[in-house]
Amino acid sequence: MKSAQPNLHLDTLAIHGGQSPDPVSGAVMTPIVLASTFAQDGPGVHKGYEYSRTDNPTRRTLEHCLASIEGGRHGLAFASGCAAMTTLLHVLRPGDHVIAGDDLYGGSFRILDKVMKPMGIVTTQVDLTLASRLEAAIRPETKLVWIETPTNPMLKLIDIAAIARICKGKSIPLVVDNTFATPCLQRPLAMGATLVVHSMTKYLNGHSDVVGGCIVTSDDEWNTKLRFLQNAMGAIPSPFDCYMVLRGLKTLPVRMERHVKSAGSIAAWLEAHPQVEKVIYPGLASHPQHALAKEQMKGPGGMISFVVRGGAPAAKALLETVAIFACAESLGGVESLIELPAVMTHGAIPAAQRAELGITDGFIRISVGLEDEGDLRADLANALEAAKLAR
Ligand code: P1T
Q: Is residue 5 very low, low, confident or very high in pLDDT (cuts 50, 70, 90)? A: low
> Which are the catalytic amino acids?
53, 105, 177, 202
* Mean pLDDT value of segment 372-385: 98
Do residues 173 and 167 make contact, with C-beta atoms less than 8 angstroms apart?
Answer: yes
Q: Distance, CA 37 to ligand 1 centroid (Å)?
A: 31
Distance 81 CA to ligand 1 centre (A): 6
Q: What's the alpha-carbon Rg for the chain, to the nearest Å?
A: 21
What are the pLDDT digits (tens) for 39-52? 999 999 999 999 99
pLDDT of residue 391: 78
Q: What is the mean pLDDT of residues 235-255?
A: 98
Per DSSP, the three-state class of 45 is strand
- Whether the per-residue pLDDT at 4 is higher than 60: the answer is no
Q: Closest Cα partner for 252 from 189, 202, 188, 324?
A: 202
The string of DSSP letters for 100-165 reads: EES---HHHHHIIIIIIGGGT-EEEEE-TTSTHHHHHH--TTEEEEEEESS-TTT-----HHHHHH
**Structural domains present in the chain:** 10-249 (3.40.640.10), 253-390 (3.90.1150.10)
Residues 272-288 pLDDT 10s:
999 999 999 999 999 99
Probe residue for ligand 1, chosen from 115, 178, 179 as the CB with the greatest number of ligand atoms within 8 Å: 179
Residue range 313-337: mean pLDDT, rounded: 98
Distance CA(124)–CA(316), nearest Å, equals 33
pTM (2 d.p.): 0.97
Q: Which residues line ligand 1 (CB under 6 A)?
A: 80-82, 105, 107-108, 148, 152, 177, 179, 199, 201, 211, 213, 329-331, 345
Q: Which atom of ligand 1 is nearest the CA belonging to 108?
A: 8
As beta bridge partners, residue 366 has 304, 338
